[in-house]
Structure formats: C-alpha cells, structure tokens
Structure 1
Amino acid sequence: MLEVIGLVKKYGKQNAVNDISFSLQGGEVVGLLGPNGAGKSTTMKCIVGLLRKTAGEIYIGGHDHLSVAAKRYFSYIPETPSVYDLLTVQEHMQFIAQAYAVPDWKQKAEELFEYYDLNDKKDKLGRDLSKGMRQKVSICCALLPDPQLLFFDEPMIGLDPKAIRNTKKIFKDLKAQGKTILVSTHLIDSVESIADRIMIMKDGNIVGNDTLENLKRQMVEAGYSLEDLFLELTKDE
C-alpha cells in the first residue's frame, strides 16, 4: 500500500531525513515513534506531498505519491489541525464529500459527529473552534471519504480522554476493514495497544523496525519494557 525508497530530505546541508526505506502492507497499523526532531513529521509530509523530497521514490497503491490516483487512496491528519475559518463544521464535511464524490455522506457525517460529540458544534465556524475541536473535525473529514491509507501525525495531542479512546477504537475498526494506518507519535502508550509494527526514528534514521510481538518478547527476555527500548534506541551517544 505504501513504499518509501531511499527518502532524503535536506534543509540546506542538514539532513532531516537520511536515506530511509520502508513499506506498509494492507491492513497494517504501524507506529512511527521517535523523540521531537527525529524526522517523523518531515517524513510524513514528504509522503503526502506537503514537502518536496530531496531524493528517493514514494509509491501509494502502486502510484507515484504526487499523482491524483495516489491521492485518492489516502487521508492525512496533521499534528496542527487546519480548518477553514469561515466554514461551519457541517460545511467542512460537505466540502470534503463534494471534493471526493462521497455518496450518501450526510448519514456518515452524522455518525462521526455523534462519535466525537460534535452534534452541538455543527453550525460553529472553524475560527471559533478550540484546538481539540479542530482536531476532531480534522479526523472526521479524513474518515469521511473512506480512504484505504491514513496518516495520523500526533493524533492524540489536544484530544480529551473520551476522544482518545474513540480514536483508538476507530484505529481497530479500520484495521479490521483492511485499512492501512501510519501513526507518528512520541508517546508510546498511544500506539502500543494498536500497532502491529513499530518503527523508531532518531536523527533522520530508522533505528528500529519490528513487529510489536517481537519487540515485546525481546524486552521481556532482557527484563525491559517497550518504553525502555525506545529510550535506549533514541538516547544521545
């Protein structure tokens, strides 16, 4: 579903992402972990086309990641939610539905509003929403077109406990439907219960990439927790 080959992103002479390669299969939930500044968000923005990569190749569903065909496959939920100031919450959903030609979108929108406690916010303008509410709207807009691949960049930041629980449940539901999810975060507990595989980034490099079961088994045998492994792999030399 996603193939990244030799991705490099430079800012001047500094490598933010240093020649990384990985792939995601259909139905996989993968956690992209790393401390702040590790290159997680840069990697994700290069994949979705918000940043121009310096080198490498990226394919989504077998198509070049910048093609219209590729963009039909995925939705992206950024770390800092961006909404339209002068559209209401309801109008955001209508806009996405029309852009992606989503049939019978109103019923699905109502279900998402109910799930994220947005029913009483449907007529509020984007500029009047709190950061947490913007994040909820961003997630609802991403889910409405029923994408095959979803990119979540620090999805839990700004959400209340109920919304965090519901988002984790949505991850599990999407996985059961065969969707592919890449979740970027520096909070291990936000993906530990849902991820099939963990990729750990440090200084623009992938320093760990294995299934959650293998990582946990290795850690239990060594007497460590997954958090211990994360801190060990990302510690300063």
Structure 2
Amino acid sequence: MLTVTNLIKKYGKQNAVDDISFQLEGGEVVGLLGPNGAGKSTTMKCIVGLLRKTSGEVTIGGYDHLSVEAKRFFSYIPETPYVYDLLTVKEHMQFIAQAYGVTEWQVKAKELLELFELDDKQNKLGRDLSKGMRQKVSICCALLPDPQLLFFDEPMIGLDPKAIKNTKQVFKQLKEAGKTILVSTHLIDSVELIADRVMILKDGRIIGNDTIFNLKQQALQGQGSSLEDLFLEMTKDE
C-alpha cells in the first residue's frame, strides 16, 4: 500500500529525514513514534506531498505519491488542522464529497458529525471554530471518502477527553475494516492498543521497526514493561 525508499529531506545541510525506507502492507496499523524534532511530521508531509523531498521514492498503491491516482487512496489529518474560513462545517463535508466523488454522502457525514458532536455546529463558519472543533472537522473530512490509507499526524492534539475516546474507537473500527493506518502521536498508550507494529524515529533515522513484542525482546525488556518504557529506553541520549 505504501513504499518509502531512501527518503531524504534536507534543510540546508541538516538532514531532517535521513535516508529512511519502510513499507506499509494493506490492512496494517503502524505507530510512528519519536521525540520532538525526530522527523515524524516531516516524513508524513513528504509522503503526502506537502513538502518536497530532497531525494528518494514514495509510492502509494503502486503509484507515485504525487499522482492523482495515489491521492485517491489516502486521507491526511495534519497536526495543525486547516479549515476554510468561509465554509460552514456542513459545506466542508460537501466539498470533500464532491472532490472525491462520494455519492449519498449526507448519511455518512451525519454519522461522523454526530460522533464528534458537531451536528449542532453544522452551520458554523470555519473561522468561528475553536482549534478542537477544527481538528474534529479535519478528522470527519478525512474519514468521509472511506480511504484505504490514512495518515494521522498527532490527531489527538486539541481534542477533549470524549473526542479522544471517540478517535481511539475510530482507529479500532478502521483496523477492523482492514484500512491501512500510519499514526504519529505522543499518546503512546493509544498506539499500543491498536498497532501491528511501531516505527521509532530519532534524529531523522528509524532506530526501531517491528512489533512491540519483538522490540521488547531486542531491548531485553520483560513483558511487564510498557511501550512507553521501551520508547524512553530506545530514544534516550547516550
């Protein structure tokens, strides 16, 4: 579903993403973890085409990641939600439905807006939404086209506890539906429950890419240790 080969992103002489390669198979849920500045958001933005990569290859569904064919496969939920100031919440959903050719979108949109408690905010303009509400709109818009591949970059930031719980439930439902997910988050416990494997980034490099069980074995940590313990051990400064 996703193949990243020798991806490099430079800022000046600094490698923000330093020659990384990985694959996501269909139906796989992968957590992307790393300390601040590790290159998680930069990696995602290069994959979805918001940043121009310095070198390397990225394919989605067998297509170059910048092609229209590839863009039909995925949705991206950014760390900072972007909404249109002069579109209402409902018009955001209609815009996405028309852009992706989603028929009979109103039923799915209604379910999503109710799930994230936006049904009474349908006629509110984007410029009048709080950051948390913008994030909810962003998630609803991403889920509406029913994509095969989803990129979540810190999806929980700005959400209230109930919305975080609902988002975790959405992850579970997407996993059960066989969707492929790459999720970057600092809420490690939310990844531990659903991820088939995790990738750990440090200084733009992948320092771990395996199931949580295997990574614990490699780090010689017992079964009583958490993913958070493993993460802190692997990313600590020498």
User: TM class by shorter-chain length?
Assistant: over 0.9
Which runs of 5 or more residues in structure 1 are unaligned?
Answer: none
Amino acid at match of 1:51: L
Which runs of 5 or more residues in structure 2 are unaligned?
Answer: none
1:12 aligns with 12
Q: What do residues 56-92 of structure 1 show as CA deviations (whole Å, max 9, x unaligned)?
A: 0000000000000000000000000000000000000
Answering whether residue 221 of structure 2 is matched by residue 226 of structure 1, we say no
1:215 aligns with 215
SS in 1 for 2:103: coil
Normalised to the residue count of structure 2, the TM-score between the two structures is 0.96
Alignment of 1:2-41 (within 5 A): 2-41=2-41
Normalised to the residue count of structure 1, the TM-score between the two structures is 0.97
1:122 aligns with 122
Deviating above 6 A after TM superposition, structure 1's stretches of 4 or more consecutive aligned residues are none
Question: Contact 2:221/2:230 (CA < 8 Å) preserved in 1?
Answer: no
Shift of 1:220: 5.0
Question: Contact 1:33/1:187 (CA < 8 Å) preserved in 2?
Answer: no
C-alpha distance in structure 1 between counterparts of 2:141 and 2:227, whole Å: 33
Distance 1:101 1:222, change over 3 A: closer
C-alpha distance in structure 1 between counterparts of 2:130 and 2:223, whole Å: 44
Aligned residues: 237
Question: Contact 2:31/2:182 (CA < 8 Å) preserved in 1?
Answer: yes
Amino acid at match of 1:236: D
Question: Contact 2:216/2:230 (CA < 8 Å) preserved in 1?
Answer: no
C-alpha distance in structure 2 between counterparts of 1:97 and 1:82, whole Å: 17
Distance 1:102 1:180, change over 3 A: same
What percent of counterpart residues are identical?
80
C-alpha distance in structure 2 between counterparts of 1:196 and 1:212, whole Å: 8
Answering whether residue 97 of structure 2 is matched by residue 100 of structure 1, we say no
Alignment of 1:166-181 (within 5 A): 166-181=166-181
Shift of 1:212: 2.4
Shift of 1:162: 1.2
